[in-house]
Chains A and B, each alone.
Chain A
Amino acid sequence: MAAFKIGKVVLRSLFKKPATLMYPVVPRKWEERTRGHIDININDCIFCGICARKCPTNAITVDRNKKSWTIERMQCIQCTHCVDLCPKHCLSNENTYTTPEVEKVVDLHVAPPEEPKPASDDTNKDSVEKKNA
Chain B
Amino acid sequence: MGKRTIIPFGPQHPVLPEPVHLDLVIEDETVVEAIPSIGFIHRGLEKLVEKKEYTEMVYVIERICGICSFGHGWGYCLSVEGVMGVEIPERANYLRTIWHELSRMHSHLLWLGLLADGFGFESLFMHCWRIREKVLDIFEKTTGGRVIFSVCKVGGVRKDIDEATLKEISSVVDGMKKELKELADVFLEDYSVKNRLCGVGYLSKEDAAELAAVGPMARASGLKQDMRLLGHGVYDKLGFEPCIETAGDSYARCKVRIREVFQSIDLIIKAIEMIPDGDISVPVKGNVPANECVVRLEQPRGEAFYYAKGADSKFLERMRVRTPTNQNIPAMVKTLQGCDLADVPMLILTIDPCISCTER
Any A CB within 8 A of the CB of B145: yes
Chain A 29-47 per-residue mask, 1 if CB under 8 angstroms from chain B, else 0: 0010111000000000000
- Docked complex Cα distance between A84 and B281 (Å): 14
Shortest A12–chain B CB gap in Å is 9
Q: Is the CB of B60 within 8 A of A2?
A: no
**Which A residue's beta carbon lies closest to that of B146?**
A34
Whether A5 touches B185, Cβ cut-off 8 Å, given contacts A13-B127, A33-B141, A33-B159, is: yes
Q: Judge whether A3 and B144 touch: CB under 8 Å.
A: no
- Chain B residues contacting A54 (CB-CB under 8 Å) are 53, 55-56
Contact B59 A77 (CB under 8 A): yes
- B47 at the A interface (CB under 8 A): no
Cα–Cα, bound, A2→B188 (Å): 10
Residues of A within 8 A of B63 (CB): 77
Of B18-26, B189-197, B217-225, B235-243, which binds chain A?
A: B189-197
B17-56 residues with Cβ-Cβ distance < 8 A to A are: 52-53, 55-56
Chain A residues closer than 8 Å to B157, beta-carbon distance? none
Partner of A9, one of B144, B150, B182, B194: B182
Say yes or no for B143: interface residue by CB 8 A criterion: yes
Those of B90-147 within 8 Å (CB) of chain A: 121, 123-124, 127, 130, 133, 140-145
For A93, list chain B residues within 8 Å (CB): 144
Interface flag for B158 (CB, 8 Å): yes
* Contact, CB under 8 Å: B140 / A33: yes
Question: A9 to B127, Cβ gap below 8 A?
Answer: yes
A3 and B190 within 8 A (CB):
yes
Question: Is residue A80 within 8 Å, beta carbon to beta carbon, of the partner chain?
Answer: yes
Report A56 CB to chain B, min CB distance, Å: 4
Q: Which of B144, B148, B192 contacts A31 (CB 8 A)?
A: B144
Select one of B130, B144, B190 contacting A6, CB under 8 A. B190
Q: Given A33-B140, A78-B145, A3–B191 Cβ distance below 8 Å?
A: yes
Residues in B neighbouring A31, C-beta threshold 8 A: 140-141, 144
Q: Which residue of B lies closest to A19 (CB)?
A: B130
| Complex CA distance for A57 and B190, rounded to whole angstroms | 48
B348 within 8 A of A: no
Contacting A56 at CB < 8 Å: which of B59, B145, B148, B185?
B59
Instruction: Select from chain A the residue with minimum beta-carbon distance to B149.
Output: A35
Answer whether residue B183 sits at the interface, using C-beta atoms and an 8 A cutoff. yes
Closest chain A residue, CB of each to CB of B57:
A56
Contact B140 A5 (CB under 8 A): no
**In the complex, chain A residues whose CB is within 8 Å of the CB of B185:** 5
Q: How far is the CB of B315 from chain A (nearest CB, A)?
A: 13
Assess whether B186 is interfacial by the CB under 8 Å rule.
Answer: yes
Task: Report chain A residues within 8 Å CB of B55.
Answer: 54, 81
- Taking a contact as CB atoms under 8 Å apart, the answer to whether A80 and B140 are in contact is no
Interface contact A35-B124, CB-CB below 8 Å:
no
Measured between alpha carbons, how far is A93 from B60 in the docked complex, in Å? 19
Contact A56 B60 (CB under 8 A): yes
Beyond A9-B182, A19-B133, A93-B144, whether A56 also contacts B56 by CB under 8 A is yes
Q: Closest residue to B59 on the A side, CB-wise?
A: A79
Among B59, B145, B190, which residue has its beta carbon within 8 angstroms of that of A81?
A: B59
A3 pairs with B192, CB closer than 8 A: yes
Complex Cα distance, B159 from A81, in Å, reads 12
A residues in contact with B148, CB < 8 Å: 77
20 A-B pairs in the complex with CB atoms less than 8 angstroms apart: A2-B189, A2-B190, A5-B189, A10-B123, A13-B127, A19-B130, A19-B133, A33-B140, A33-B143, A33-B144, A35-B150, A54-B56, A56-B57, A77-B148, A78-B145, A80-B144, A81-B56, A81-B59, A81-B150, A93-B144
Name 16 extra pairs, CB < 8 A, besides A33-B143, A55-B56.
Answer: A2-B190, A3-B191, A5-B185, A6-B123, A6-B124, A6-B183, A8-B182, A9-B182, A9-B183, A9-B186, A33-B142, A34-B140, A35-B144, A56-B57, A81-B55, A84-B158
